[in-house]
Structure 1
Amino acid sequence: MAMLVSSVEEGSLSAAARKMRVPVATLTRNVNDLETLVGTKLLVRTTRKLELTDAGTEYVASARHILEQVDEQERRAAGEFTAPRGELVVTTPVQVARLRVLPVITQFLSLYPEIRIKLVQSDRNVDLVDSRADVAIRIGRLRDSSLVATRVGTLRVVVAASPALLETHGVPKTPEELSDYPCVVFDSPYLAPWRFRNPATGDIFTVADVPRLLVSSPDAAAYAAIDGVGATLVLEHDVADAVNAGKLQFILQEFEVEPIPVNLVHLSQNIMPVKLRRFLDFATPKLRAALADFGRIPSV
């Protein structure tokens, strides 16, 4: 069942084999044996992808539920519901992990020697069920109502530019001017498109940017902005050090949208493992304190 579910989630038998660290032939044989056992075809294999049959769709849904029950019973047997022990899988955006989450995790591990943490860093929202994750730090509005969320803070969305760039190209007075301004764009699911708020009406509007440089990490956006490549729109903590050092300056602050919420989220559970309860109790106040550190820095 686990091999079948993994094949569906990964999109191919070979990808599932790599994830489960077994030979492709072994995984293929086990999936074939499962189809023989249930007496029907579950997967349709093509050269490009795997597709579930109608019977396979229903079977995989049931298999996921059964595997979750097996996992819970194994954790019960290991004592995870009576003592803080076992592996805890935490997912978080890359930059938030480096700046805010890792210090919390290192402190937590020093207090609970029987807990192991697997930190999954991704700027895309990782599905908690598919990834078998226990808890996630999510930036942005939550769409999944099945998750239990605890607000730990907010992050400002800011536009920053180097003093040299502002001296050469002038200081934009309105967001619309950014359309003809050198820009460094961080390709982010929670920052694209560039959004601003009309200070007079409160209406939200977007600006069509033509990036001089398109990057896939906030660090790269900050470095390029410091070097004068262009103005960039990022989260405040991505450029706070550079602003404090005078390498960057905030602009267009009066047009900023409301700060983006940051939440700790986990799946609803009848009985919560002790390791998760301990982590939530420890991390929540620490992250709230860390995210409250930022103060408003004057614009130019």
Structure 2
Amino acid sequence: MGTTMRNTQCPLAEEAVDTLPAGFSTSYAAVMTFIAVATEESFAKAGDRLGIGRSSVSRNIQKLEQQLGTKLFSRTTRSVSLTAEGEIFYESCKPGIDRILNAIEQMRDLRAGPPRGLLRISSTVGFGRKVVAPLLGEFRSLYPEVSIDLALSDKHANFTHDGIDIAFRNGRVDDGQIIARRIIPMHMILCASADYARKHGLPLTVSDLAGHRAVNFRFSSGRIFEWEFKVNGEMIKHAPVAPLTFNDADLVLDAVRNGQGIAQMAGYQVCDHIATGALVPCLQQYAPDDRSHFLCYLSKQHMPSRMRLFIDFMLDQIRRLDLQCAVEALPSASTYEGAR
């Protein structure tokens, strides 16, 4: 009886012992390679990131696909993309890889050395150019071993898929998985140039907008930004018909400054120009509720020191900047000669 039991259990024990190390040794490097290729969407760039050759990247992916019995990537001469099965595998693997990398970062941070490594930052185009980018030099002078990769886009980056550490976002943040730290208010202000106001006057009510030229902003999604106003406690939207439309906030500002029309823009863009008299605000009595600028990141139990220091630095430095227009303190358009 005892002999029979030993004979039936031995094959199972041997299988358990053989499969685990064999699976680990063939899978770990391959999974790390898989995550790199999925993130970079390129075998060559993944190899550069991992410090291995492209042929090694291809071998690791091939071994992983053989082990899983499924194709993970669709490859052409110009592009690399995940298959449906690859997407499922990516979503399952990425959290585990992140935890491993965070654990490694935590161990590194226990050492006395200065913070080091790469930070991938995402920001809206206008805020990134005006506010974030000018502060990077000072941050790197304090922490020269930290590298910054700043991507500007008005489309919200995916923290996991795009490998983003920190994102600067405007407006409302409704994702419960994202920690959103409010930086400063985001007041939307309708403006015209002083020259435009002299020639065409300024609107005194929302209904007056129909008689004025507008300059539109187009989101990366293709949607036109709708102006918002609060009238009698109710939020209303205005979709202006405009002879000029741009997908860049700075170009909208330039067009308004050059007298091409009026536009509703964020306070951080226009406050300096209002202060000098180059731009004239209007309809501020109908200004919409503050939408705010946020610094966002995913919750991390063990945050790398470079990330924590960057967050603290940016919150402090941006709040020190004079980027806020107090809407209630702005002069009324009715005080401007020629307003109508």
Short-chain TM bin: 0.7 to 0.9
Could you tell me whether the CA contact under 8 Å between 2:47 and 2:54 is conserved in 1? no
Amino acid across the alignment from 1:64: K
TM-score, with normalisation over the residues of structure 1? 0.83
Q: Are residue 93 (structure 1) and residue 119 (structure 2) matched?
A: no
- How far 1:278 moved relative to its partner? 1.8
- Count of aligned pairs: 292
Q: Distance in 2 between matches of 1:29 and 1:179?
A: 63
- 2:3 matched residue in structure 1: none
The answer on whether the counterparts of 1:148 and 1:266 sit within 8 Å (CA) in structure 2 is yes
- How many angstroms does 1:4 deviate by? 4.4
Residues 150, 265 of structure 1: 8 Å contact kept: yes
Distance 2:137 2:74 in 1: 45
Q: What SS does the corresponding residue of 1:260 show, helix, strand or coil?
A: coil
Contact residue 2 and residue 67 of structure 1 kept, 8 A: yes
Q: Would you say 1:58 and 2:88 are equivalent positions?
A: yes
Q: Are positions 1:72 and 2:98 aligned together? A: no
The 1:91–1:149 alpha-carbon spacing in structure 2 relative to 1, beyond 3 Å, is same
**Residue 213 of structure 1 pairs with residue 239 of structure 2:** no
Please report how far the alpha carbon of residue 272 of structure 1 lies from its aligned counterpart in structure 2 after TM superposition: 1.5
**Match of 1:258?**
289
Q: Does the alignment pair 1:167 with 2:193?
A: no
The alignment status of 1:284 with 2:315, answered yes or no, reads yes
Q: Is the 8 A contact 2:185 2:324 kept in 1?
A: no
- Of the three residues 178, 181, 185, the one matched with 1:154 is 185
1:51-106 Cα shifts (integer Å, max 9, x gaps) = 634x54432222223332343344345x1455522222222222222332234332
Q: Is the 8 A contact 2:252 2:263 kept in 1?
A: yes
Cα RMSD, aligned residues only:
3.1
Residue type of the partner of 1:16?
A: S
The letter of the residue matching 1:59 is: F
Give the unaligned 5+ runs of structure 2.
1-30, 334-340
8 Å Cα contact 1:152-1:291 kept in structure 2: no
**CA distance, structure 2, for counterparts of residue 3 and residue 209 of structure 1:** 49
Task: State the secondary structure of the residue aligned to 1:99.
Answer: helix
**What letter is aligned with 1:273?**
P
Q: Where do 5+ consecutive residues of structure 1 fail to align?
A: none
**Alignment identity in percent?**
27
1:16 to 24, 34, 42: 42
Higher mean Cα deviation, 185-194 or 215-224?
Answer: 185-194
1:19 is displaced (CA, Å) by 4.8
Identify the range of structure 1 (133-142 vs 59-68) with the bigger mean alpha-carbon deviation. Answer: 59-68
Deviations along 1:187-237, one digit per CA (max 9) or x if unpaired, are 247982211110x2x100111211110011221111111222111111122
Q: Which has the higher contact order (CA 8 A, sep 6+)?
A: 1
TM (norm. structure 2) is 0.74
1:196 aligns with 2:229: yes
| Contact 2:183–2:295 (8 Å) recurs in 1 | yes
Rg comparison, structure with higher value: 2
